[in-house]
Amino acid sequence: MFETLVEDFAEALDAWSQKVKGALNGRPQKVLVNGLRNAGPSNVSRWLSGREQIWKGQAALPGVGLTRDIVHVLQLHGPEGALLMQLAERVDHLQRQLMEYRGWRKRAGDYVQHGPAAETSAGSAAGQAPSARRRRWQRQPWREQPAWVKASLAGGLVAAVAAAAVIVTAAAGPNGD
CA distance 151 to 42: 33
> Taking a C-beta distance cutoff of 8 angstroms, is the pair 60, 42 a contact?
no
3-class DSSP assignment, residue 17: helix
Percent of the chain with pLDDT over 70: 70
> Which stretch of 21-25, 82-86, 143-147 has the lowest confidence by average pLDDT?
143-147
CA distance 33 to 14: 20
What pLDDT score was predicted for residue 175? 66
Backbone dihedral region of 154: left (phi > 0), alpha (psi from -120 to 50 degrees) or beta? Answer: alpha
What pLDDT score was predicted for residue 134? 43
pLDDT in tens, 49-96: 999 999 887 778 889 999 999 999 999 989 999 999 999 999 999 999
The sign one gets for the Cα dihedral 142, 82, 33, 13 is negative
What pLDDT score was predicted for residue 150? 62
pLDDT at 99 over 50: yes
pLDDT at 42 over 60: yes
pLDDT at 107 over 50: yes
